[in-house]
């Protein structure tokens, strides 16, 4: 069978032996995410036609206004994973605390926990801008058969066994890694099947795109300001092009294909950064590194940070390796 004609299901089965712990659970887990993604995709594509756009009038644990699609996506992914009896715990950006999944004997003997941002960039839904789902999978550290604890979720990114994202855009794609490269699958809406469309995805070592909300320029640390001036200077292959969608999945996806860097640094308004380490930064860092890119907090590797809380925020620099390295050089000049 030609590589690009493979379905996601066929690809998962074929590559299962690459995952040293797997006895089928990881394949079933990815398949569950595939199913939930198709349900969410259906709702996203009906936005504007049905009453699914807008805020629900409540805030999540982050203090952000929840959108109707946030709630729908969160419930869809959680229920799909629970119903399939694949994971022993789930943590979501939309929930205050992690969820302990109980089985017939109070807790499942499953090995994995999932952390997720069920609908990244949801504030863009009503203006028809791409949004996405981000997920991260860890092998539990507490004994199998016991209820999961916070320790199962507060693991560094280097402990991830799988991570991925779904982008709901002009086409719907599921991109994921299990530590053996990154592959992208595009949904054929006519038959509801994901096909391998982007095998072995790679970040170019260099790029000419920088993605940052420059409206916050005056609030950025001096190292970031200096790097942006470097990006804008007419010299060598610069100035670079500024491209910022405001949907993390969409910005990272574009830069992985075309070459570029995404920056969400600390600022005087967000002194710890804004993006969540466990739900956004770690999974995107795993994907970036598996695609030959880099991910940093401005000074060091994102995936080596030891998390201390479920909703921890960190600065995030992610993309083409040479661009991330250059940004770190500017940051290092002002390190205290």
Tokens 């092998």 belong to residue: 139
| Inter-residue contact 86 to 112 (CB < 8 Å) | yes
| 206 marked among binding-site residues | no
| 18 marked among binding-site residues | no
Residues whose CB falls within 8 Å of the CB of residue 295, separated by 6 or more in sequence, listed in order: 281, 284, 285, 288, 289, 301, 302, 303, 316, 317, 318, 324
| 152 marked among binding-site residues | no
| 123 marked among binding-site residues | yes
| 96 marked among binding-site residues | no
| 20 marked among binding-site residues | no
Terminal Cα distance for the chain, rounded: 56
What is the rounded CA–CA span in Å between residue 83 and residue 101? 10
| 119 marked among binding-site residues | yes
DSSP letters along 158-206, please? GGEEEEEEEEESSSEEEEEESSS--EEEEEETTTTEEEEEETT----SS
Ranges of H-type helices in 216-291: 222-232, 248-258, 282-290
| 244 marked among binding-site residues | yes
| 121 marked among binding-site residues | yes
The continuous run of DSSP H or E covering 70 comes out as helix 68-83
Going by DSSP bridges, is the β-strand pair 160-168/131-139 parallel, antiparallel, or unpaired? Answer: antiparallel
What is the rounded CA–CA span in Å between residue 251 and residue 79? 28
CA distances for 189 relative to 113, 120, 186, angstroms: 30, 21, 9
| 251 marked among binding-site residues | no
| 263 marked among binding-site residues | yes
| 22 marked among binding-site residues | no
Which residues does the annotation place in the binding site for Mg(2+)?
93, 117, 119-120, 280
Which residues does the annotation place in the binding site for substrate?
120-123, 213, 244, 262-264, 274
Which residues does the annotation place in the binding site?
93, 117, 119-123, 213, 244, 262-264, 274, 280
């Amino acid at each position: 069978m030609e590589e690009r004609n493979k379905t996601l299901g066929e690809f998962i089965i074929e590559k299962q032996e690459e995952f040293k712990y797997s006895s089928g659970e990881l394949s079933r887990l990815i398949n569950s995410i595939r199913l939930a993604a198709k349900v969410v995709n259906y709702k996203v594509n009906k936005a504007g036609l049905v009453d699914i756009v807008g805020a629900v009038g409540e805030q999540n644990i982050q203090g952000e206004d929840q959108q109707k699609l946030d709630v729908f996506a969160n419930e869809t992914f959680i229920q799909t994973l629970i119903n399939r009896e694949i994971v022993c715990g789930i943590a979501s950006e939309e929930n205050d605390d992690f969820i302990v999944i109980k089985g017939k004997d109070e807790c499942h003997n499953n090995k994995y926990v999932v952390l997720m941002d069920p609908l990244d960039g949801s504030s863009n839904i009503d203006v028809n801008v791409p949004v996405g789902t981000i997920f991260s999978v860890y092998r539990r550290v507490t004994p199998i058969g016991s209820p999961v604890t916070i320790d199962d979720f507060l693991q560094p990114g280097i402990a991830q066994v799988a991570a991925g994202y779904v982008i709901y855009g002009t086409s719907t794609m599921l991109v994921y890694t299990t530590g053996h490269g990154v592959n992208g699958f595009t949904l054929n809406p006519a038959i509801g099947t994901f096909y391998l469309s982007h095998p072995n995805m790679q970040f170019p070592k260099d790029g000419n795109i920088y993605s940052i909300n420059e409206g916050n320029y005056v609030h950025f640390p001096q190292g970031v300001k200096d790097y942006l001036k470097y990006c804008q200077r007419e010299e060598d292959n610069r100035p670079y092009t500024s491209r910022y969608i405001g949907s993390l999945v969409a910005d990272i996806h574009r830069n992985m294909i075309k070459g570029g860097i995404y920056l969400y640094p600390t600022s005087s308004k967000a002194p710890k950064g804004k993006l969540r380490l466990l739900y956004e930064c770690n999974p995107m860092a795993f994907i970036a590194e598996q695609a030959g890119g880099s991910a940093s907090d401005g000074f060091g590797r994102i995936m080596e940070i030891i998390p201390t809380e479920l909703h921890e925020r960190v600065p995030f620099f992610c993309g083409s390796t040479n661009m991330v390295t250059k940004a770190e050089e500017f940051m290092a000049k002002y390190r205290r």
